[in-house]
Chain A
Amino acid sequence: MKEILIINLGRYGDLIQTTPLLRVLKETYPSARVTLVAQKRFGAILPLISRYDRCILLDQDGLTRTLATSEGIPAAYGALEQFLGSMEGVRYDLVLNLTSSDFSAHLVALMDAAVVAGKTSDRDGRTLAMGEWGLYLYSFLRGDSRRYNRINLTDIFCNMAGLVPHGRPVELHETEEGRRSASTLLNRVGKIDLPLVALQLGASDPGRCWPAASFARLSDLLQETAGVRTVLLGSPGERTLADQARALMKHDPVDAVGSTDIQGLFSTLRRCTLLVSNDTGTLHFAAAGGIPTVMLAVGPASFFCTGPSSAGNLALRPPLPCFPCRYDLPCGNPVCRDSITVESVYNACRLLLGTPLPEGDGYGIGLYRSDFAPDGYLQWQPLCHGNHDGEKLTRRYARLWKKVLGSGFKVQGSRFEVRGSEFKVQGSRFSHGDAPEPLFPELLRLTTEGRRVTQEIMTAAKLTPLPLSRISALGEEEAGLESDIRCLAVTNPDLSPLVDFMTILKENIAATDLHAIAATTHDIYARISHLVALL
């Protein structure tokens, strides 16, 4: 492994969540050159990140501005050519695309890569997910599946690279400039003897924000009773939100909104005792600085998927069956914003400050704590009001995926050999005759039917002349089965992870001739049957 390309065109938090991957890559392939591709807008974090050899920045904002009128097309084309030119001319042993956009898929397709994990694009411009874990990642981003995911994004990233999660947190390195910036900021408000509790009021999406009024009450409660001083954090764009909160506060916090640069933010957080935050990049800064956090999982935010990757953090989830929101269904009634009470957040803060949780029901709000499991994966354990029945199923799913997905692009000793986006069942015929009663018998029946129908298509596809009407009838039967399977997941969302995984496998079929398509589809049904049996 000599050349590794990592594409992460996400925000600060996404880049921080890439750091465990960078660490494990460098530890495994110390002589490999790791190239990181990021957005210029978030390049300010790069001095804090180590373990990469070069970084190439995409000026998306510049390109967007250039493309504001058609006259800018040649200039934008030239700029993009230049950007591509800085990456091309290298044979990459591994390209990891950690971004889900079509743009990044095209970018990967233009690279000379031996192995790709994540999204790419074929010669028709069709987007494909590559690698077992890449397929999994994009299957759970859709529909209801995300509710069942218990594998943190940082661990998925490692697996996409074919490496085992190592049970260590995200990491950033404090800079001298950051320390100076934090000192300047805190010196401005005078000497503070009390522990600092940071409050991050905003988020990239208003749907992920706990109300400013709730933050105001929390700040007052903490300052009145917990013997701490609160610090408001946020970008200049969150000034209005901070002003709204401050107007409702009885006790002044340290107002650092819009006053910290990225390096200064990290250093300021390191001087805090804990952070209370919506689903933001700031959470990941704190996790990287070893600062415990209280994450407010509002809207589509799921701490299971993208919570801060370090041990000892707390997360609160709303007592609502719709948690977390689906990405594809905008919520018209975001009651979850108000369903997490100030008292429950306060109690979580007190717990991190060393005071046990009070007696009582905790307002019915689920409270979870993060730690690293013995297998090296991040996990969130319920402290109170966990959904125990639901958790049993999600844990079974987590065990299943860890067992069957293997490690990215090469799976030793697995039933499934992964070749790019395709796989095939090896060895003996699949049989579940001796297996215990499966959890989802109807799904098993339908996938078994799917195997029969696709087997018949494969047989028919070898005949000369082709029995077109027969093949057409079988094709319709197969489409009907697929439709039945999807309907099954609608009536029983517990099936969503399996059905969404099947869907993405089918969308990813690269074959073009009838027999090969039927054979791949047959393997997909066989695989889903196998997963049902294993679950």
Chain B
Amino acid sequence: MTSEIFEKNLIALERIDPTLAETIRSVAPDRDDLYLERARSGRTVVKKDGILLHSAYDPQKEAATWVASAAPGVPRGICVLGSALGYHLQELADRGFRGSFIEPDPTLFRLALEHQDLTAVLAQFRPLVGIPLERLRRAHRDPLAGEIVPHPASLRSNPSYFSPLIDYARALALVRRGGMKILLINPLYGGSLPAARHSAAALKQMGHTVEVFNSEAFDQGREFAAGFTSPAHRSTFTSGLVSLLGQGIELKAQEFQPDLVLALAQAPLHLRTLGRLEQMEIPTAFWFVEDYRALPYWRELAPGYSYFFGIQRGDFPTQLEQCGVKNYAYLPTAAAPDIHAPVELTREERDEYGSPLSFVGAGYHNRERFFRGLTDFSLKIWGSDWPLTQPLAPFIQRDAAWVDTRSAVKIFNASAVNLNLHSSTYHEGIDPAGDFVNPRTFEIAACSALQLVDRRALLPELFSEDELETYGSMEELREKIHRHLADPDARRRVAAKGRARVLAEHTYGARMEELLATMICAYPTIARRREARGANLRTLREKLELIPGMAPILGKIPAGSPLDLQALRDAIGKEPGTLSRGERILLMLDNIRTAGVDNP
């Protein structure tokens, strides 16, 4: 009987998730901490670590009672935390609920499949079983952000898994409601600027109010500093510039009153400014989208941030901890799908940007050495800092001019095979210990273009093998180039899967959701501020609606969006000659707020 039900369930599971079915089949059915016994009603129940996950009397009746009290009144999509032996899932499925359920313990789920007919459950609920928390947060954001229904006994039996998950799910739901106020500090210069801009765009798209501190406007000051002959003078001047920008950030924070400050690598924030922001009770997040080994300045600043996000694991978290960093999370880079996307190219563009094999990126030492082995291919190399010398000179495009994002997207789209080799200043080719994944990996995939990327320690958890091609040596690379150049269909298949993965998991929107939700979990004040503003917002809107003439203006401001004088002023009609009395009064109030009434 048990084996018959198990096989029936496994067939149903294979249909929806063959990998999980395979895992479950290979899981050992017995474990010391799991103990089966009979309830008085005769049904099988399970104890985990001595905690009974069902009623010892009648688990089916218990499930019915629980569903009636804990589940939403009307059947809809939900995410159930904990499968136990599945009585409550059966009851939910019977009542028409659907969605997903999360169970960290594959053995426990196997027991459920052995003892209950869960085919109806599997038809209506997607099982998310045995998935580590971090992977769950990154790959299954939608169920988490939906309606969470925890199974109480499962919660009791595994609080270390479910409690943070519940906190995170609540935070994620709040993040998805928008309405947070975020001060985003752009870097003064460098490669992290696009990431900052993509992050700002994603946050705005999510409905948050983002004030961007455009530090890059002062980059000329850095260039100016280069004019000093003495390094000490240069350093003094640059440090003064950073100090000035720090004051600017502080003033902006005072004016804007953000829920949190997000700074990208190379943002001009020093410890003094971070300390002042902390005094203002504004949590700060730093997304260090750089290689910690190449840019060591993080050591000085990291302890000043409330939360440090980086693109590396390994030794990095330990080093951060030794510097005094309390909160660290791994947050890889991403792609911006509205920019990095498949594009229709004209014939001229295909001729200009296209080639069987291409590379976009700066001419680092390892690339310059490694690509010498590809000169028998029809190769185009795009990007700056390439030495225009033999043997690569004939392949370098536009005299090694810098390539803007739009052109890069066209190149990715127009090339049959896109090369990706992570940079190194001292390796002769592939960095065998390379860990982080560069933005180009996500960007090429987002364009639905095929890429061959050098193997990186952190790549497998971001892409599976059929979503992009990897290489670990020149021989392997050459073999794969030949293979893919000869098989356009295979190229398309791999590229399409790569794009699907990026859209599902690796967009800046997804990263910002993860960052904000993580911050909210660590700093509940962010949520409280956001909620308080939301409540005030509703009251304020109600009060404003009572003012004659306000309805058309309020109608232009989406519910839930920040409601302040600036928003009201921006919503004032632009049609010529139509300024109403109410609109004029709002403009007058805005004048008072910004300039006063007696300015010259």
> Which residues of A line the B interface, CB within 8 A?
9-11, 14, 39, 58, 60, 63-64, 67, 70-71, 73-74, 76-77, 80-81, 84, 99-104, 106-107, 109-110, 121-125, 141, 327, 512
Contacts and interface: CB of A to CB of B under 8 A. Distances in A.
B481 to A, nearest CB: 55
B568 A73 contact: yes
Given A71-B540, A77-B547, A124-B577, A327 B585 contact: no
Contacts, number: 101
A99 B565 CA distance: 23
Interface in B535-564: 536-537, 539-540, 543-544, 546-547, 562-564
Contacts of B537: 70
Contacts of A122: 577
A109 B564 contact: no
Nearest to A74: B543
A76 B592 CA distance: 10
26 contacts: A9-B597, A9-B598, A10-B598, A39-B598, A60-B596, A63-B589, A63-B592, A67-B592, A71-B536, A74-B543, A74-B547, A76-B589, A76-B592, A80-B589, A84-B585, A99-B598, A100-B599, A102-B587, A103-B592, A104-B597, A123-B576, A125-B583, A125-B587, A141-B600, A327-B600, A512-B576
B595 interface: yes
Nearest to A300: B600
Contacts of A71: 536, 539-540
Interface string B560-600: 00111100100010001111010111111101110111111
Interface majority SS (helix, strand, loop, mixed), chain A: helix
A81 to B, nearest CB: 7
Nearest to B584: A106
Q: How large is the interface on B (under 10, 10 to 19, 20 to 34, 35 or more residues)?
A: 35 or more
B579 A124 contact: yes
B26 to A, nearest CB: 58
Given A80-B585, A101-B597, A70 B591 contact: no
A73 B540 contact: yes
Contacts of B592: 60, 63-64, 67, 76, 103
Contacts of B586: 77
Contacts of B572: 125
A101 B564 contact: no
Contacts of A84: 585
Nearest to B545: A74
Given A110-B581, A123-B578, A124-B579, A73 B597 contact: no
Contacts of A104: 597
Contact of B598 (A101, A107, A123): A101
Nearest to A75: B543
Contacts of B562: 70
Contact of B588 (A100, A106, A123, A141): A106
Contact of B584 (A70, A76, A101, A121): A121
B529 to A, nearest CB: 13
A120 to B, nearest CB: 11
Nearest to A99: B598
A81 B547 CA distance: 11
Given A63-B592, A102-B591, A103-B592, A123 B600 contact: no
B565 A70 contact: yes
Nearest to A100: B600
B577 A123 contact: yes
A60 B594 CA distance: 12
Contacts of A121: 584
Contact of B597 (A58, A67, A124): A58
Given A9-B598, A103-B592, A122-B577, 18 more contacts: A39-B597, A63-B592, A67-B592, A70-B562, A71-B540, A73-B540, A73-B564, A74-B543, A74-B544, A74-B546, A81-B585, A99-B597, A100-B599, A101-B595, A101-B598, A106-B584, A107-B588, A124-B579
B441 to A, nearest CB: 43
A14 B592 CA distance: 19
Contacts of A123: 576-579
A70 B588 contact: no
Contact of B563 (A58, A64, A70, A102): A70
